[in-house]
Structure 1
Amino acid sequence: MAEGIASVRHRDLTRAQLSSLRDLFDREYRSSHGEWDPDRPYGYSPADVHVIATDAGRVIGHVGFQTRWIRIGRGNILIAGVGGVLVHPEHRSRGLGRQLMEACHERMLGETDARFGYLGCRGEVVSFYQSAGWSRVEVVERCISREDQTTVEISTNTPVLIRPVHAKLGDWPEGDVDLRGTPW
């Protein structure tokens, strides 16, 4: 189990934390996505805040978020985009992912003005996020491509989940979503 969960601003990560995060992500994704870059992780938007679980000084779990104004319908809303959710294989199925997601939500509550947390994911992990308090919403999502940073992608089938931060679930606005950047 984790010896502790802490949150760290991106700019305050130590060399040791960066190295350990790189090891965690490269173990999982290097063969399919190349080397992890903390400032542009696999083409996704980087985290402003990292919530990390450690064991024996090594990072064994991570969730990151970045606050950003996005457009939904005709209005703008401040959200905390969540990404980089990963638990070391030896520490999975023990509730650590849920603990990290809850710690991330607490950090959003305490240090952001975000109305909602926002994340996109693969269909096979939707139930995990729902069990951690997130709700699926059906949206048409527009974002900048992770691949070339110039192409606009429009998605209608990607699972999107939200969690109220400084709002109620019923306050989620109607309309298409423009992330105004790359996804998280």
Structure 2
Amino acid sequence: MKVREIILDFTSLLDVVMIILFFFVLYSSLDAENAAEKAKAAEASYTEMQEQNEKEQQEWREKADEEWDRILSADANAGKNQQALSAYNEGKGITFNLHEVEKGDVWTLSVLADGKRIGKISSDDACQLRGKLKEMLEKAGYGTEDVVIATLTFNGNDYGTEAAVPKVENAVMGIQREYKNLYFTTINISK
């Protein structure tokens, strides 16, 4: 019997394995680069979201602090407010009575403090209405920290009051920045 020699040639098999290994290494490095880019993008997104969250938390803290200060201030002013309401119920306070002098834009604002007339403002003073109102508040003895309850009474049937009431209301709103405890209401006495 003749023994045959079997020769195995692994060259082509090694070539195929090397080619497969080459592509595996090539694509795994591309996946690693893509994964690194995605990780950087995710990190940037997370950092941005974290900064936004911190900013929102800071805004909420500031709002909460402002609200807390407002509550403490309201609590501290409760006694003053009650005293002012009691005085208003007794007829004390400041009242602005709007009177139409003639048909049209001519009107007069009588100013009463504690039921006594302390002055008047006419439509000629409309340009300086804020200043005149502040002057009347000072004349009535009110300071910027005092609680003031003011009333504007007018007859809605009078033609001139239609244009005058918004002017007076705007002027009062303008001085409320300085007189933070100025409470104001309007009363229409028309039937």
Pair in the same fold by TM > 0.5: no
TM-score bin, normalised by smaller chain: under 0.3
Pick the structure with more helix per residue. 2
Q: TM-score, normalised by structure 1?
A: 0.26
Q: Which has the higher contact order (CA 8 A, sep 6+)?
A: 1
Q: TM-score, normalised by structure 2?
A: 0.25
Larger gyration radius, structure 1 or structure 2 = 2
Pick the structure with more strand per residue. 1
